[in-house]
Structure 1
Amino acid sequence: MTTLARPPSTSPRLRTLPGVYEPQHDTRLLAGALQREDIARGAEVLDLGTGSGALALEAARLGARVTAVDISWRAVLSARFNAMLRRQKIAVRHGDLASAVPGRSFDLVVSNPPYVPSPCAWPPKGASRSWDAGWDGRALLDRVCDAAPAVLRPTGVLLVVHSALCGVEATLDRLTTAGLRASVTERATIPFGPVLLSRLDWLRERGMPAAEILEELVIVRAVPA
């Protein structure tokens, strides 16, 4: 069932350096899915593309031992600073997705990767690096899907959030091919934000309905098959 997402509720104590993705609707949606996993105390959680560290900190609050990864040094510093402010212990590593944790496996992997389709050259530069993800929005999402099996334990769970604009079936198919059993567990509809509004003409040229001004977000949950 699709619902209209409520505005994001983020702690005023979270801080981000310029160019780091600030928690928004998708962050809140994924945090809710994380809470419903009933994480066991001491479970090991990996946050791929941590940004501000919001999801890593939520997992730590629930009792998990958390490793957070981001390729942006500004994100790494933001997440570490927010962990200090929240008095939560998380390990924040600089690196490219799962390559930052070689040989390790986790009970839960969460990811809110950049997924906005973009007409601009890849890779993006500046602040757009935290949301732009290539022509189809899948430049990072596909890599998360491909990397997940290697870092999931046999009873592990992957939770990833993204926009339907970059293809829900493509994600399910990619995860299935990677050896996981995947499904959409939640959908939420939000108004287009400033970035998508600025690309309306381009999105319509790609086939998006002319009257479309709402974006569907999905939570995809996957487990080893």
Structure 2
Amino acid sequence: ADSVGCGAYFVVSNIAVWPVEEDLLMATDYEQTFSSEGLEPVMYISEDSLALLCGAPRGKVDSVLDVCCGSGVQGIVALRHYAGRASFLDLNPRAVRFTKFNLALNRMLNRADGLHNGDLYGSLPPNATFDAIVANPPFVPNPQGIA
């Protein structure tokens, strides 16, 4: 993380802002960052995330669900290009907050049908239906090739 000295204080940023498209920015944690609240970090935007964005079908749909939303990048790009509305779901409450921030940052908060913290079966309304589901589940870096 970048840091700035300020007298007796040392300020460190643990948030990264990623340009996903020319005028679409996404905030998320730096790689391997842990929050001051002890919450799990929100996965950074990787090459895999960008590849999923490029490979997503672009047929127009009314509603999309972003499962394991993290920063919300998959659902927000869907809203930008092909979805009328979106719902977002993640187990990590910090991820849901990042998604809400990113929706507001990109002026799309009014197109979010819901921001849900929890699992797939207990957090969505029982009658919820979606025309498309996108997902970018987190992965665990494996530098030693153990797994």
TM-score range, shorter chain: 0.5 to 0.7
Aligned pair count? Answer: 113
Greater share of helix residues, 1 or 2? 1
Give the TM-score taking structure 2 as reference length.
Answer: 0.67
What's the counterpart of residue 13 of structure 1?
25
How many percent identity over aligned positions? 28
What's the counterpart of residue 196 of structure 1?
142
SS of equivalent residue, structure 1 residue 16: strand
**How big is the shift at 1:97?**
2.3
Conserved in 1, the CA contact under 8 Å of 2:67 and 2:137?
A: yes
CA distance in 2, matches of 1:67, 1:45: 6
Return closer, same or farther for 1:38/1:63 CA change in 2, 3 Å cut-off.
closer
Greater share of strand residues, 1 or 2? 2
**How big is the shift at 1:99?**
3.1
Conserved in 1, the CA contact under 8 Å of 2:71 and 2:98?
A: yes
Unaligned runs of 5+ in 2: 1-17, 30-34, 36-40
AA partner of residue 57 (structure 1)? I
Within 5 Å, which residues of 2 pair with 1:54-69?
54-64=73-83, 65-69=85-89
Deviation larger for 8-17 or 75-84: 8-17
**How big is the shift at 1:51?**
0.0
Deviation larger for 80-89 or 18-27: 18-27
The one of 116, 122, 131 aligned to 1:93:
116
The one of 136, 139, 142 aligned to 1:112:
136
Within 5 Å, which residues of 2 pair with 1:1-225?
10=20, 13-17=25-29, 18=35, 19-34=41-56, 37-40=57-60, 43-64=62-83, 65-88=85-108, 89-90=111-112, 91-101=114-124, 102-114=126-138, 131-132=139-140, 195-197=141-143, 199-200=144-145, 202-203=146-147
What's the counterpart of residue 190 of structure 1?
none
SS of equivalent residue, structure 2 residue 133: strand
Give the TM-score taking structure 1 as reference length.
Answer: 0.45
CA distance in 2, matches of 1:33, 1:105: 23
